[in-house]
Amino acid sequence: MTRTRRQIAAGLIATFAMGSLALTSMHGTANAADAIKIGEINSYTSLPAFTVPYKQGWELAVEEINAAGGVLGRPLEVISRDDAGKPGDAVRIVEELLSRDKVDLIAGTFFSHIGLAVADVAKRQKVFFMAAEPLSDAMVWSKGNRYTFRLRPSTHMQASMLAEEAAKLPAKTWATIAPNYKYGQDAVAAFQRLLKERRPDVKFVAAQWPALFKIDAGAEAEALAAANPDAIYNVTFGGDLSKFVREGSLRGLFKDRTVVSLLTGEPEYLEPLKDETPDGWIVTGYPWYAINTPEHKAFVNAYDEKFGESPKVGSLVGYNTFMSIAAIIEKAGSTDTEAMVDAAEGIEVSTPIGPITFRKSDHQSTMGAFVGRTAVQNGNGVMVDWRYANGADHLPGPDEVKHLRAGN
Amino acid sequence: MLTGQILTGLAGASVLFFIAAGLSLIFGVTKIVNFAHGSFYMLGAYIAYTLTEAFGASGLGFWPSILLSALAVGMIGALAEITVLKPVYKAPPLFQLLVTFGLVLIIEDLTLLVWGPEDRLGQRAPGLSGAVELLGTQIPSYDFFLIAAGPVVLGLVWLLLNKTRWGILVRAATEDREMAAALGIDQRILFTGVFFLGSALAGLGGALQLPKGGADLMMDLTVIAPAFVVVVVGGMGSLTGAYVAAVVIGLANTFGVVLLPQATLVLMFLVMAVVLLLRPHGLFGQPERAERGHTPGAGYPAAGAMEKAIWSVVLIGALLLPLAQDDFILVLATDIAVAALFATSLHFLLGPAGLVSFGHAAYFAIGAYAAALISQQIDGPGMEIALASAPVLAGAAALLFGWFCVRLSGIYFAMLTLAVAQIVWSLCVQWTDLTGGDDGLLGLWPSDWADSRMVYYYLTLALSLAAILLLRRAVHAPFGFALRAGRDAKARAEAIGIDVMHQQWLAFALAGAAAGLAGALFVFSKGSIFPDEAAIPRSVDALVMVLLGGVGHLAGPVLGSAAFTLLHDQLSRFDQWRLLLGIVIILVSTLAPAGLSGLPAMIRAFAMRRRI
């Protein structure tokens, strides 16, 4: 008897699981009928330092677009989800956004591998995917596909901007330090290749590969010093960068050496350094405090008014992503996927930092980055002597793209 | 340069030692595998950041701030012990791990809410912000302070443990918990005290590394694996061992950076694997004492008629699911079927075999990558051949690695499986030509006939079910009985002629093969595979599913994986989903300490009491 009761209860629990499966099918249908639905997905919990400003950026864009009457007379509705930093989860969420929420397109992602996983689903299901932030070159080249577009300047583009500057330096021997994963490896390989093209006389004398977010900064600094290079190319970012800067400064690593550093001028990574910001590093970044065009000032003011803080690169990327989506739908005249893809190829979009174009050949936007030198002003890290490097100048031509995209 | 590397290694070793010492103390006395220990370290860093920003401009404010942070974290640790761990002390071994996992989630979200998403760079220590030139190298003066602080703290804790009554009680409980209890030592107070001390040490580590780095939201998970490595290399429960191991690992890291810059991902785990193979209980550890009056593990009776009937209803429900005409339900149900198989394969080790694996994701990933590579090579029936060969290859890998692992037992076995998984993970990351590295392998969709979600769901359901039933059959076969005999009474089992290690080795391979099949099914449902599937979170998720479902019942892993997948899917719609998931996990584990599958027995017991 007791046994039977136990088994009944066991069964009840088992059927509970099935029941909640069925329950999940009930919600997610009661939305404004005429809204354009955008499924948005990003690593909100696993990388909040970058994705929270990004989210605020696109929220601002959507608010402005809808206040101006929406797109094609329809408001934008964004269904935003967290992928927990896992590609498997991301794919499941995309399936739900498509089959249940019936979104018209997918946007977002930060990590390159998640971007690639989603791009592959977009290719298979023929869905428009606007990748906002993933940096991997594979997104638009070796694994690029018809349905995937990417906004942010890629690893190759940013490395190319720095290689251009590095070539002007007298330095002959270089050492590199980069996180031990794809982004770091690509960033080093691209920089080495592009610098050698311009300066066949340079030599790379050391390469350090700290594990991502687990840098042993003192040891890395010692190892770099031991190679005694004229200049250093740095790809570490976030907490790794702070530790590297601190240990390197203390140990005199940066004395009489030029450092060329990827992404370090982005407020996300520069602001935490405060008065310890190293002097005179050549970096890519985003000097929002010094860009004085009316469009950019309007963006900074609107952002500050809505969120009470200054924009980060993520904010700009989020804003531009959704402004691009709106422009694409407007041009396509509908939310038909093929029409959107055709409209997006070659479209010019105006953004707070000037017009950008989504290239027809590889679906990469020409959004650029700012290249300048780091300095400390009033106890804060800033970029000085900067210029805007147009992304278009750092991308290969259509013939080379054809070769890069061969086989997909 | 050599001096520089040695001193840097020693400074890093001190911080690592503080964390590992706390972890070792807590495990030694309470036998709790505390995943939340890294979270306490992170809290130490954040609290110290806030305090030193407010008061730390001078040495007078800075050093008390550091100590205060350690104390505050100690209090939080003690509070966590009293509120959420106390209720589950009577649960089966390892179940407390589930609660500490819930704590990790809660602390992560609360830290984000309180301190915001930005990374925080800590203050430099007043008076120690410069560098000293030594043999031609600039060494930060703070490094010298850290190098000294390690042995000082080791000495203080040693004095506390050896020269005070409380310390003697702690050592007694570490040595022989049951005897200590039999002699009338109040374990409740002892446990709370140990949690206070252990957490305070973690907090101290977090606070003291602040001048070298800062506070960020990823610190908790980045430190927990190295901390376990140090504890295990040193020998569980040995403080001196923890210090020596911290120095060994610290130096290995700094020299590895120079000699093998590419090896940063695995070096520490390679060191641990070598140490464990040479010294199965770490450098200074004692063999784990078999507990007297050891309660035998679960018996897993065959399903009765009623249970069979219930499962039939569930199965019919699963078969009718496509009638819902909702593609996403099928996607979710496919995920659950894959998770159920993976969890069941881990349960086979954890339950009947009594082997706790922290690295089961290795075989999931090997199966997944094998399937992906095979299907890419073969035109036509790539998927079919891949699904057939993945379990074989994963099983073969498990046979190879298992041979080493089953030579160890308890936590040492668990950590060696973790080391293997980390090695597999780093291969997935670094063998770019084969695995595509971090960019993974893409375009791995099912063959045309199975391409619809419904067909692929049925395929996954059929294969998972078959494998789960096979594992279930193995539990009830003589093989399963031999495993349980080895688990419950190793000496007696060997006395009647069972080669326990051999049986465990085969069980490891069987579980690996089943995990490999789950991995292969996963690949074709997602279309891509990345190194994440071999990483620690994947192994931890499987552990959480098994524990949530309950180790004591064969239905446990299926229930646990369904509940965890659905919960995660539903809660991830909220901004603070980690907080919610953490709370739910802790609530479930306190209310049902035998897991979800133990609920019926609890309800029955409750009803009986009411009747009397």
Per residue in B260-273, pLDDT (tens digit) is 877 777 888 999 99
Residue A64 has pLDDT above 70, yes or no: yes
* CA atoms of B218 and B229, how far apart (whole Å): 18
Looking at residue B290, its pLDDT comes to 57
Predicted confidence at residue B132, as pLDDT, reads 82
Over 60: is that where the pLDDT of A21 sits?
Answer: no
B112/A13 Cβ within 8 A? no
Distance from CA of B198 to the nearest CA of A (A): 23
CA distance A104 to chain B (A): 16
Percent of chain B with pLDDT over 90: 58
Question: B414 and B387 in contact (C-beta within 8 Å)?
Answer: no
Q: In this structure, which topology does domain B2-278 adopt according to CATH?
A: ABC transporter involved in vitamin B12 uptake, BtuC (1.10.3470)
Nearest-CA distance B533 → chain A (Å) = 9
Residues A189 and A247 in one domain: yes
For residue B118, what pLDDT band results from cuts at 50, 70 and 90? confident
* Chain B contact for A11 (CB, 8 A cutoff): yes
Q: Would the pLDDT of A11 be above 60? A: no
Predicted pLDDT of residue B238: 86
A27: nearest CA in chain B? Answer: B570
Q: Are A181 and B438 in contact (CB < 8 Å)? A: yes
Cα(B549)–Cα(B560) distance, rounded to whole angstroms?
4
Closest residue on chain B to A53 (Cα): B117
Give yes or no: residues A229 and A308 share one domain: no
- Mean pLDDT taken over chain A: 90
Using CB atoms within 10 A of its CB, is residue B67 exposed (0-12), middle (13-18) or buried (19+)?
Answer: middle
Q: Please say if the pLDDT value at position A113 is more than 60.
A: yes
CA A246 to chain B, closest CA, distance in angstroms equals 7
Residue A45 at interface with chain B, using a CB cutoff of 8 Å: yes
- From chain B, pick out residues whose CB is under 8 angstroms from the CB of A211: 264-265
Residues in B touching A242 (Cβ below 8 Å): 119, 121, 213-214
Residue B174: what pLDDT? Answer: 79
Per residue in A333-382, pLDDT tens?
999 999 999 999 999 999 999 999 999 999 999 999 999 999 999 999 99
Q: What is the pLDDT of residues B529-555, one digit of tens each?
A: 999 999 999 999 999 999 999 888 899
Contact A216, B253 (CB under 8 A): yes
pLDDT at B499: 95
Summarised one tens digit per residue, pLDDT across range A114-148 is 999 999 999 999 999 999 999 999 999 999 999 99
Q: Does residue A251 sit in the same domain as residue A380?
A: yes
**Tens digits of residue pLDDT in B141-154:** 899 999 999 999 99
Bridge-based pairing of strands A282-285 and A369-377 is antiparallel
CB contact under 8 A, A91 and B527: yes
Chain A partners of B328 at a C-beta cutoff of 8 Å?
24-25, 95-96, 99-100
What is the number of domains present in chain A?
A: 2
* Cα A232 from Cα A240, distance rounded (Å): 16
C-alpha dist (Å) from residue B588 to A47, B96, B584: 28, 12, 6
Nearest CB among A14, A49, A251 relative to B119 is that of A49
Examine the domain organization and report whether A108 and A201 are in the same domain. Answer: no
Rounded CA separation B319/B604 (Å): 31
Contacts of A155 (CB under 8 A, 6+ apart): A135, A136, A137, A183, A186, A187, A190
Query: Is residue A175 located within the same domain as residue A225?
Result: yes
Q: Is the pLDDT at A25 greater than 50, yes or no?
A: no
Q: Considering only residues 104 to 123 of chain A, which have any Cβ-Cβ distance to chain B shorter than 8 Å? A: 112-113, 116-117, 119-121, 123
Helix B577-591 vs helix B536-549: crossing angle, to nearest 10? 40
Report the C-alpha gap between A146 and A167 in whole angstroms. Answer: 35
Shared domain check, A301 and A206: no
What class, spelled out in words, does domain B321-607 have in CATH? mainly alpha
CATH (domain of A150): 3.40.50.2300
Give the model confidence (pLDDT) of B162-177 as tens digits: 999 999 888 888 777 7
Residue range(s) defining the domain that contains residue A60: 36-154+293-367
Answer yes or no: do A189 and A275 share one domain: yes
- Give the pLDDT score at A213: 85
Same domain, A244 and A381: yes
pLDDT > 70? residue A402: yes
Domain with CATH 1.10.3470 in chain B: 2-278, 321-607
What is the ipTM for the molecules in this complex? 0.88
- Cβ-defined contact of B527 to A124 (cutoff 8 Å): yes
The pLDDT value given to residue B2:
77
Give chain B's mean pLDDT.
90
Shortest CA distance from A51: residue in chain B: B117
Nearest to B138 among A136, A213, A251 (CB): A251
pLDDT of residue B558: 95
**pLDDT of B294:** 56
Cβ of A208 within 8 Å of Cβ of B603? The answer is no
pLDDT-derived band at B291 (thresholds 50, 70, 90) equals low
On whether any CB of chain B is under 8 Å from the CB of A63, the answer is: no
Nearest CA in chain B to A11: B310
Rounded distance between C-alpha atoms, residue A10 and residue B596, angstroms: 9
Q: Which residues make beta-bridge pairs with B479?
A: none
Do A70 and A114 belong to one domain? yes
Contact residues, chain B, for A89 at CB < 8 Å: 572
The proportion of chain A whose per-residue pLDDT surpasses 90, expressed as a percent, equals 79
Cβ–Cβ under 8 Å, residues B151 and B243: yes
Predicted confidence at residue B183, as pLDDT, reads 85
Q: Count Cβ neighbours within 10 Å for each residue of B195-219 and write b for 16 or more, e otherwise.
A: bbbbbbbbbbbbbbbbbbbbbbbbb
Using CB atoms, pick whichever of B258, B566, B607 lies closest to residue A20.
B566
Domain match, A51 and A63 both? yes
Q: What is the mean pLDDT of residues B362-375?
A: 96
User: What are A396's two structure tokens?
Assistant: 């290969």
Q: What angle do CA B251, B253, A136 make, to 5 degrees?
A: 170
pLDDT at A31 over 80: no
Do the chains contact at B332 and A239, CB–CB below 8 Å? no
- Domain-located, residue A352: yes
The torsion defined by the Cα of A160, A162, A164 and A165, in degrees rounded to 10, comes to 180
Beta bridge partners of A375: A382
Are residues A169 and A125 both part of a single domain? no
Domain shared by A333 and A280, yes or no: no
Contacts of A18 in chain B (CB under 8 A): 314, 317-318
**Which chain A residue has its CA at the smallest distance from B9's CA?**
A219
Please state the rounded mean pLDDT for residues B492-518.
Answer: 96
Closest CA to B198 of B164, B160, B165, B234: B160
Write down the pLDDT at residue A4. 46
Express each pLDDT in B16-62 by its tens digit.
999 999 999 998 888 888 999 999 999 999 999 999 988 877 878 89
Task: Go through A55-65 and write b for each residue having 16 or more CB atoms within 10 A of its CB, e for each that does not.
Answer: bbbbbbbbebb
* pLDDT for residue B343: 97
Q: What is the reported pLDDT for B88?
A: 85
Residue B288 has pLDDT above 80, yes or no: no
Q: Which residue has the tokens 């394969």?
A: B345
* Stretch A164-180: mean pLDDT: 95
Residue B92 has pLDDT above 80, yes or no: no
Type of residue at B21: A
State yes or no: pLDDT of A24 exceeds 80: no
Contact across the interface for A211 and B603, Cβ inside 8 Å: no
A243 near B CB under 8 A: yes
In this model, does residue B527 exceed pLDDT 70? yes
